[in-house]
Every structure is written in C-alpha cells, then in structure tokens.
Structure 1
Amino acid sequence: MIQYPPALSPVLARVQDCLARRDVNGAEQAIASLARFGLSGHCDVLGAMGAIRLHQGRLAEAAALLAQSRELAPDNPALALNLGRALAGLGRTAEAEAAIREALQLQHGWAEALFELGQLLHHSGRLTEAEAQFRAVLRKMPGLVHARLALGAVMTDQGRPADAQTVLSRALEETSDPGLKVQINLQLAAALLRLRKDADALAAADNARALEPGSPRAALRRGEALQNLGQHGEALAIYRDLLVRAPDDPGLHHDYNALLYRLGRDEEFLGSYDRAPASRPLLLGKAHFLSLAGRHLEAHDIYATLLTRDAGDVVAALGAARALAQMKRPAEAGAALDILLKRPDIPTGAFAQAGEAALLAGAPQKAVRLCEEGLARAPRNGDCLAILSTAWRMLEDERGETLCGYDTLVRAFDLEPPEGFAGMDDFNAELNAALVRLHPETREFLGQSLRGGTQTPGNLFGAGMELVEKLKARIDGAVTRYIAELGEDAAHPFLSRRAAGFHYAGSWSSRLKDCGFHVNHIHPMGWISSCYYVAVPPVVADDNGARQGWIKFGEPHLDVALKNPVRRAIRPAPGRLVLFPSYLWHGTIPFHDAAARTTIAFDVVPSA
C-alpha cells in the first residue's frame, strides 16, 4: 500500500485557502512544494492543479487535469464540479452540464453546484430552467446574494424587468460588499432601462461608478441611459473616453458610431475606426457600417484588404461577395460564392446570399437549387425561404403561392377595446401619447427597415407599461386564434411549426413621419410577424388607389423582374392587427401627411 507523506493534507488545505483568497501564485507555490515527494499523479494533487489552472484561465489544461483526477476519484463531487466549470469555459456546454449534474448526484442539493448549473443554463438560453436552479439555491441559502443577483439577471433576459427590479433591490439591501453592490447596481440599471425608467437607471449606474470609479461597465450603462434621456453630448463624451482607454474594443466603436449616425454627425461617422489599430475586428466593424450606409465600394475595399491578409477569411469573403452584388456585379459575386459554398464551415446563410446573387444575375433556377441546399441544412432558415419564394414567383411556379399563402396566411384582426375602455379610439389615443414619449428624437438606427422615422429600443412587452400590457392581452387572444386556425401540413415550413404554445421573441414600436416608409424586408428569426396600428395619418384612409401608408407583401428588396411584385396590400386602421409568416417580404408604401403613423410590431416563435 502506497503511503503518502503527512505533508500532503496541510498543503492541499493551503491551496484551497489561497484560491479562496484569489491568491493563485500562493496556491501554485504551495503545490510546488510537493514536487520532491513524487506525488504528481495523486488524484488530490491533480485536482488541486486543475483548480489552480481553472483560476488562471488555462481551461484546456484544467479540464485535462480534472478529467484525469476524476478517473482516480469518480465519487468526488468537487472534482466533477470543477471539471464542469472548465468545460463550460471551453464552450463544451453539453459535457459541462453532464459533469455538474454528476456533482449533484454525488452531493444532492449542493447549493454551489446548483448555482453553477443555473449559470450554465442561463448562458445557454434555457432561462426557465436557470430560474428554477437559482430559486432552489435561494431556498437552501436565502442569504446568498450572488444567487439573487443571478436570478435578477435571468428575469431581465426573460423580459420580466419589473420582477428583476424587485429581486435586485432586495439584493442591494442584503449586502454590504462593495464589489457585489457594483454588480447588482449594473444589473439593476439594465432592468430599469428595459422598464424605460431611464433616470433611475442612470442613478443606479452612478452608484456603481461611485463604488468603482473608472468602471467601463458603469460608463456603458450611463451612456445608454443618457441616450434615452436625450443627453447625447454626454453619451458621446463617455464613448470617446472609453475609446481612449480601449481603442481596440469593437463594441465601443460600434455603439459610438451608431449614435453618431443617428445624430446626423456624418462628418464624424466612422472616424474612430481610422484612428484605431487596423485589426480584423475593427475593419470588419467599419465595413459592416459602410455596407449598411450603402457605401459598398469602400466596404469591398476593406474586405479585399482582409483577404490579402488571410485568403481563407470566410467572413471577409462573404462580405466582399455581398458588396459585389450590391454594386450590380452579381455574376462576380456568384462566382465567389460558388467557391465558398464548397467549404465545410460555410454558414447556412451563405446559401441564401448565393441565391440572391443568382436572382440578380437572372438565374432563378440556380437560386432554387441553392436555397434548397440551404434548407436541407436548416429547414426553417428565413433568408432561404424568402429567396426561394422569390425565385419560384420569377419562374411562375405555384409553389411560391403555397409557401407564402398571401391569401390565407396573411390575416387582419380588428381588436376589441381592452378592459376599462369603451372604444379603441380612446384607448389608442392614450397609447399613442405614451409611445411617443419612448421614441428617440434622432433618426433611425442604421440597419433598421424604416426610413424617415424612429423605433423604440429594447422590448416593449414586459417593460411595465400598463397600456401596452392591456393591449398585449388582446394580442395574445388574436395570436392564439391565428395559430388555432392554421392548417396542418408537416411538409410546410410555416405550418409544420404550428404549436399551441408561443412566446414573443421581440416587440417594439415604430413611428413614421411624412414621407416615411419601411423598406421591403423579412424577420429571419421569427415564425409569425405582425403590425398593430396605433395611429395612422388621414391620408391612409383615403381610398384613391395610391394606398399611401399601406403594408404590402411579396415585393422583395431585390431589383428583379416580377410581374405585379406587390402580391397583397392591407389598409392600416387604428386597432387593426396584421399577422403573417416572418419570411414574407413586407414593407410600407410611403405616405405624404403631417401626421405620424405609429405602430407596434412583434415576432412570435413556438414554445418548445
């Protein structure tokens, strides 16, 4: 029987103590003292080394050491938990979840493992399961503020910012730890921003900044709140300061230049990229903005530069092909995409992009083939479905009508007044006044479908607006009826997703002004999309054949030869809700009227 020296236990205890104090160097020095005893293969030493590597962020080494240790001690829950943490950091989510669940089997109800499982589920987007884990932790340890913070973060992401505010406010009361207070205040600010309590959000961010002066996270929260409050100069100053400290941060450049564009500061727009290191992420960021702004030649030049650095850069190659298509060079774009599609790592969206280039080149048959290849990979890909529908219409193939269902799947519902209101006119007048206060006093975000108007940031549903929630109750009923009355067809990409349960994947308000409109677009991440009309200009009601301000379906954003491109149009009216498949091309016919056109839109996806 092997006898291990008595020095092992106190050394391992010292390692644990050092790691608890985040003294990684001390832990490594302690474990190094065992070298002369030849204990490198002992399961506890392997586990301790794995824990040290985990704290150092050397995740691959940590996972290897912890896996080796687990083979020697499979009943040790701490080893299983640490292995799960390392695997999670490596993005090996399924393996990480299995390891953490094994830890819970070995030590049932272990709060630390429940917390880690909740974090993993949250990061995986499994929000309901994550909430259950954090609630389980709080039942066992009601005073664990970290769990209350994590629960508040999940609730915010679930679209329940009011509940998150309650949970996070309690968490603030339960801790005196300055570092934890910073995290809670920042998460509270995020929830308050969702509720559009912008002044309160700014105060929470200021509290975080007071506890951690110079905190970039607090500065970003302040910048978002200041934008909502219309204090754009202060928001710009924050971004400039952050860019001095982190000139290579792509997210900062994006947010700064997005605000410059909305403010019409065209002479400053994109200048920050030119003052920064010419790194790949920053060049891609600038090229993306240039593409959205219609400056396709400049975007192509950047993508070409990146391809001289790395000819295998898929993102740059796809960007270059997109720019070529936009510059009316679809044959060149198609040739480049034909080569790219042979790569095993090509994203499904590239098939839709290649199909679009084929349509622009006058080759709808090729577009059909490409989109069908993409749909074989991802049967619900909205981009492929939209391009396929256009190709079939160009070929006068009746499958285009079956796919889109312009006469059956596009439906209008005139909603009943919510409780407490005698008529929709009174309700919509109050709702319109409330929504106007949420709309920014800038031009649209670059990349949005509207032109000559504004769109509210964040999600409207669940943001704590009483009138919106009253309307949502009526919308719930209409969506439920729409789904219930859909036909059943397992082979149809829209009807095959029919399910009784659903949830909202996004919700917002749009406000178009005189001459405003929405360009033709789709919603690739949705199943059912929508438009509810809160207020419409008088000219929209005029039945003079111009159909100003009407919503139109079937006309793609591509310059292709279609007979009667607008397949259907519906006249807006206050209180009217239009529902349709998310992959249908839709847009708005421009209108000329001093009055604004205010709508609420949302996307629906089936519940799992």
Structure 2
Amino acid sequence: MSTVPTRAAAESDPAREARDLKAQGRLDEALDAHLRDVAARPSSAIAEHNLASTLGDLSRFAESADAARRALTKGSTAPETQLVLARALQGLLQLDEAEDAFRRALELRPDYLDAHQDLAQLRWMRTGDLGHAAAHLDAALARQAPATSALTILRARLDIAAGEAQAALARLERRLSSHAKDPALHLAAAQAAAAADACEAHLAHAVQALRLAPSSQMAAKSAVEALLGLGRAEEGRDLAARILAHHPQDQGVRALLLTAQRLLGDSQGSAPYCDNGLVRQMEVPTPPGWPSRDAWLSALGDALRARHGWSMHPPGQSLRGGSQTQEDLARSPDPVLAGFFASVRETIARYIAELGPGSDPTRARIPEPANADRPGWRLTGAWSVLLRAGEGHHVDHVHPEGWLSSAFHVETPPATDTGQQGWLAFGRPGCATSPALAPLAHIRPKPGHLVLFPSYLWHGTEPFDGEADRLTVAFDIVPENRA
C-alpha cells in the first residue's frame, strides 16, 4: 500500500522506525511503531494514513478502513488515503463503496496509475465486462493524460485478461509508432505478442526492449521465451544460463533453462520433475477440536467461499474460469483459517525435513532453523482459487519469487475420477515451444491433501467437466535466513 509523501524532518521517531521496518517486510513490528506514532501525534492525518496502509498490508481490512476514515476526518486530502480506503473496502467485499473511493482518488489525481489499475481490476473481477472495466482508462487515454504510456500498458493488460491479446498488441504498437524508444512499451508488446502466439513479434519486441534497457531481467527472460517458441532452443539455453548466473534465485529463468535443456534432449531438463522427493502430495492433519475430518473440510470450504465475491479471474494471474481471493489468508484471524495454517505448517516442516541434503537448487536453499519458534522459512502470501466446471483451469506457470509452492485441495469435483480431469500437471511449459512439450507428470488432487513442489517447476491444471467446483488454497514458501 502507499504512504503519503512527507519530508523526513517532519517524521516522528516511531514513523521513521515504521518506515524502515516496512521496507524490510517486518509488517507486524511496523504496525507496533505506527500505533506508537498515532499515540504520539493524535491529530496527525499522516500518522493515521500510514497506520491504515500497514493494516491493509496485513489484511486487517476493517481496522484499515477505520484508520483511513480517521485520516480523512483529520484533514487528509491525499489521493493515497482514498486508495488505502478503497483497498480496505475491497478486502471487506464492500465493492460499491470501494469503487466510490477509487473514483474519489482519481478525481483528486486524474493520472493516478495505481488507482486506475485497481479500479479496472475491481470492475473486471466483478463483471467480466471489458468495456465497463476499461471505461475510465479509455477516457483518460482520450484526454492524453501525462502517464499515457503507462496507461496504454495497463489497458493492454486488461485486453489480455479478456482474451484479446491481438488487440493488446495492436494497441501497444500504435503507441510505439510515436514512442519507439520506450523499453517498457516494447516489453509489454512482447508479452502481448506471446499471449497472441506471435513468436516473431515477441522476439522483435523483447530484443528491442533489451537493447533499450540492457539490464532488464524481464526483457531478457522474454527473449528466452521467444527463442524457445521459434525453435531456437540452444540460443535460449545460453541466454537463460547467462541470466541465471546473475540472478540465481529467479525461479522463472530456471524454468526456462530446464525447458531449453529438455528441448535439446538433455536429461537435466526433466530430472527435477522425476525427483519423487521434490514433488509430493501429503495429508494435512485435521486441526484439534473437530468432530471429523469431513466437518473440518466443510467448514474450511465455507470460510473460503465467503471470500469469493467475484465472477472473474484477476488480470495477470494463472487461473481462467474462476475467482481468486484478494487477501493474505495466512494472516486472517478467522479461527478456521488459523487452525488450517497451523496444520499446514506442520506438513511443510515434515516435507522440508524429509527432503534431505543435496546440491540441487531446492535442497541447497534449505535454511537452518534460528530457534524453536523460527523454523528458518515463512509463508509469503496465501490465497484461494475457485475454478468452475467446464472452463476452470490454471494455465501453466511458475512462481518466480518463491522457493517452494503449493496447492491444498479443499473440494474436488467428481470429474477427477475420469481420466485426468482437474488434475495437477507438471512440466508442460507456460510459454510456447517448438516443438510443443507435454506434461511430465500428473497428480490427482485429494481433499485434505497438500501438494508441495519447487517454485521453478511448471505447473497448471487440466480442465474438468460436470457441475461441481474445484476449491483450493495456495501459498509460496521462502527461506528466511539464507539468500
């Protein structure tokens, strides 16, 4: 979330402490400092705003909304405060009120990119109506707002989310006709071309983005993807290896390197997918206090469904034909969710302990526990996905910033008994390759079971028929005390 700009000299000691802690990702400690800052400066709108922002980052949306309203009462006229309020209201699924607050932020700052993005996403997820979701973007573009290129990229990403990748590419190339030296536009055009299966255009724009911004990791990775799509696997492998040498923890480029190796017939490309210790499905113990396992899973399903107040997938995510929650579930005070994550942490600890030593990219990062209360790893984000029968699936993807990734199955449709419908697929690349590559492994999902795997492994789900939904929880895990 945003923080109202302020001169360092005007900050109190707790405010500076909170800012530094937040920059380190230590949100709980930052919250304590913000509370002390508000107590020390009870009339400060800035102190209330910053408190609201961190509460929102912690998914404590009701408290965040209250603090944002107090900031407004105390005189804040900053669009950032309206944005914090809007995000909190969205987290509470008070969606009409959230839209109003996003609009107020844009009234205060018509070129406020974050507010444009959040409002477009909210409208898209509520309705699935591209015209409605993009209306304010189109109006801003027609006004030739100062951030036109950034707004054009945002508009194109909405096109892609709606399955209109060719329109996105055309939109970006029109903008490039007068802004040919903008690397961000070229990178966005490369991504749109990839979504449109236009491999030549993908490579041309990725290469141009890289020429204009030689240090761009994203542009270099996009170029690797384009090379693989064009059947130039050896070049893709060599470029991926160079990127990985500079960014050894980028799980996305590691996935691309493995893909290139597999295309070249190198067994290293498929080896991690065949390591039974790396990809595992494990039963999560029922938390204490439940009369039965079925009762626990039913209550967990109810708690999650209450948070799926959306009709469409968010832009830029892997799911299609479903919805995704918009809060960090691991921070929820809901006792059902808290009990779930306590049991999940036990299962993660067992998985890590049973990995055993090794020099592969996953085992080499196993952290040393700091103490009994700090295992050396932490969850980073947790969300739920509801996939609808007939159209619901995950496109193949990886988690570039993770170490381990996961899928806990709460509800699975009867269709999973037929063929491999609704199953997890591993190893099918999420980018075009020539030739196309099939999955290397499938896992049949089981309610109450957690699938854990390295974040650099391609994974997706197969579509499924019928009328029942597929409900899951997912999260990433990262080491805490080792790079």
| TM-score for the superposition, normalised by structure 2 | 0.85
C-alpha RMSD of matched pairs (Å): 3.2
Q: Does 1:505 align with 2:404?
A: no
What CA distance in whole angstroms lies between the structure 2 residues aligned with 1:176 and 1:377? Answer: 45
Contact 2:182 2:212 in 1 (8 A): no
Question: Within 1, Cα distance between the matches of 2:266 and 2:292?
Answer: 45
Counting aligned pairs with the same residue, the percent is 31
Instruction: Give the aligned partner of residue 461 of structure 2.
Output: 588
Residue 300 in structure 1 maps to residue 164 in structure 2: no
Deviations 1:462-506 (A, max 9, x none): 22121222222222122112222224333x322221223111111
Residues in 1 aligned to 2:6 and 2:116: alpha-carbon distance in whole angstroms: 29
Q: Which amino acid aligns with 2:385?
A: S
For 1:539, give the aligned amino acid.
A
Distance verdict in 2 for CA 1:235–1:332, change over 3 Å: closer
Change (3 A) 1:303 1:188: closer
Q: How far apart, in 1, do the equivalents of 2:16 and 2:100 lie?
A: 40
| Counterpart-to-counterpart distance in 1, 2:314 and 2:258 | 28
Which residue of structure 2 aligns with residue 521 of structure 1?
397
Give the superposition deviation at 1:334.
Answer: 2.4
Contact 1:193–1:225 under 8 Å retained in 2? no
Equivalent position to 1:280, from 126, 133, 149: 149
TM-score, normalised to structure 1, is: 0.69
Distance 1:253 1:599, change over 3 A: same
Residue 534 (1) aligns with residue 410 (2): yes
CA distance in structure 2 between the partners assigned to 1:349 and 1:587 by the alignment: 22
Counterpart for residue 416 of structure 1? 285
- Residue 458 (1) aligns with residue 327 (2): yes
**CA–CA distance in 1 between the matches of 2:14 and 2:247?**
34
Task: Give, in whole Å, the separation in 1 of the partners of 2:334 and 2:176.
Answer: 49
Aligned-partner Cα distance in 2 for 1:563–1:245 = 49
AA of the residue aligned to 1:523: H
- 2: distance between equivalents of 1:195 and 1:315? 31
Q: Deviations over 1:312-350 (max 9, x none)?
A: 322122222333344433234324544554567432232
Checking the alignment, whether the CA contact within 8 Å between 2:399 and 2:405 is kept in structure 1 is: yes
The alignment covers a number of residue pairs equal to 463
Distance 1:115 1:210 in 2: 22
Contact 1:424–1:574 at 8 Å: present in 2 too?
A: no
Of residues 331, 350, 353 in structure 2, which corresponds to 1:484? Answer: 353
**1:405-447 Cα shifts (integer Å, max 9, x gaps):** 4533100111221112253222111111112112223322122
The aligned amino acid for 1:266 is: L
* Aligned residues of 2:300 and 2:336 also touching (Cα < 8 A): yes
Deviations 1:31-62 (A, max 9, x none): xxxxxxxxxxxxxxxxxxxxxxxx997xxxxx
Deviation at 1:245, TM superposition (A): 2.8
**AA partner of residue 528 (structure 1):** L
Greater relative contact order, per chain length (Cα 8 Å cut-off, separation 6+): 2
Q: Which residue of 2 aligns with 1:179?
A: 44
Equivalent in 15, 20, 32 of residue 152 of structure 1: 32
1:290: which partner in 2?
159
Q: Look up the equivalent residue of 1:598 and give its one-letter code.
A: L
Distance 1:201 1:245, change over 3 A: closer
2:407–2:452 Cα contact (<8 Å) kept = yes
- Structure 1 residue 390, shift from structure 2 partner: 1.7
Q: Which runs of 5+ in 1 are unaligned?
A: 1-54, 58-84, 90-110, 132-149, 155-167
Match 1:121 to one of 20, 26, 38: 20
- For residues 199-214 of structure 1, the aligned pairs below 5 Å read 201-212=64-75, 214=77
Is the contact made by 2:273 and 2:441 (CA closer than 8 Å) also made in structure 1? no
Secondary structure at the aligned position of 1:407 is classed as: coil
**Does the 8 Å contact 1:550/1:571 carry over to 2?**
yes
Equivalent residue number for residue 187 of structure 2: 318
Q: Structure 2 stretches of 5 or more lacking a match?
A: 369-375
Q: Which residue of 2 aligns with 1:355?
A: 224
Are 2:445 and 1:598 equivalent residues in the alignment?
no
CA distance in 1, matches of 2:435, 2:283: 32
- The higher radius of gyration belongs to 1
Query: Pairwise mapping of residues 33-432 of structure 1 onto structure 2 (< 5 A)?
Result: 115=14, 118-119=17-18, 121-125=20-24, 127=26, 131=29, 150-152=30-32, 168=35, 174=39, 177-180=42-45, 183-184=47-48, 187-188=51-52, 191=55, 194-195=58-59, 198=62, 201-212=64-75, 214-264=77-127, 265-276=129-140, 277-278=144-145, 279-338=148-207, 340-341=209-210, 345-432=214-301
Q: Separation in 1 of the partners of 2:197 and 2:61?
A: 46
Q: Which residue of 1 aligns with 2:373?
A: none
Q: Which amino acid is the alignment partner of residue 152 of structure 1?
A: D
In the aligned structure 2, how far is the partner of 1:176 from the partner of 1:560?
Answer: 58
Counterpart check, 1:579 vs 2:452 = yes
Q: CA deviation at 1:549?
A: 1.6
Question: Which segment drifts farther, 237-246 or 452-461?
Answer: 237-246
In structure 2, distance between residues paired with 1:226 and 1:116: 25
